[in-house]
Amino acid sequence: MQSSVTMYGAASTVGMLADTGYTDKLSYSAEAAIGFGVPVQLGTNPERQVKVLTTSVGQAALAVGVSVASMVVEQTSAGVAAYAATDTLPVLKCGRIWMLTDDAVVAGTVANLKLSSGLLTDEAVTTGIEAFTQFSARFLTATAGSALALVDIDRK
């Protein structure tokens, strides 16, 4: 139950598209629960399913896009909203989307995947930090710490 009202809301939420600009999305079925605004890979049935990345080496190369938030998925009692197994979800292949960062990032830098958290970072590729290979990702906004950042996803 809402107990307070603020004059200004948050700029966005995780997995929300930035605007009405060009986007390229494909629909898939969730192989297991998938949160909003996370990179996903093809599932067991690669023609129909996607699943979240793991923390294993080589995961960024498997990412085919980013899960887009839905306004019709109900939150759990813990306040978490995610697609359940077999739910249909849109996967962003090209466009601008709000995603969580692992740390402070600088606008204009390349977004890489930090395996330990599954979040984005602008740190250089090294052990535990991988570059996406099936699409490019670049930060459009900066953050002062782990926070929401606007990310431009583009096909390679």
pLDDT in tens, 66-101: 999 999 998 888 878 899 999 999 999 999 999 999
Which domains does the chain show, CATH number per domain? 24-155 (2.40.300)
Query: Tens digit of pLDDT for each residue in 98-152?
Result: 999 999 999 999 999 999 999 999 999 999 999 999 999 999 999 999 999 999 9
Report which DSSP code applies to 111: P
pLDDT attached to residue 156: 80
Query: Tens digit of pLDDT for each residue in 3-50?
Result: 777 777 777 899 999 999 999 999 999 999 999 999 999 999 999 999
Question: Which whole number is the average pLDDT over 49-76?
Answer: 94
pLDDT attached to residue 1: 60
pLDDT attached to residue 90: 98
pTM attached to this predicted model:
0.92
Question: Which whole number is the average pLDDT over 49-74?
Answer: 95
**If you count DSSP H runs as helices and E runs as strands, how many of each does the chain have, helices first?**
1, 12
CA pseudo-torsion sign 103, 123, 92, 89: negative
d(CA 91, CA 145): 26
Q: Would you say 55 and 62 are in contact if contact means Cβ atoms under 8 Å apart?
A: no
pLDDT attached to residue 12: 87
Structure tokens given for 56: 């294993």
Strands 129-130 and 24-30: unpaired
Produce one character per residue of 87-119: b if its CB has 16 or more CB atoms within 10 Å, e if not. Answer: eebbbbbebbbbbbbbbebeeeebbbbbbeebb
d(CA 77, CA 99): 23
Q: Would you say 104 and 144 are in contact if contact means Cβ atoms under 8 Å apart?
A: yes
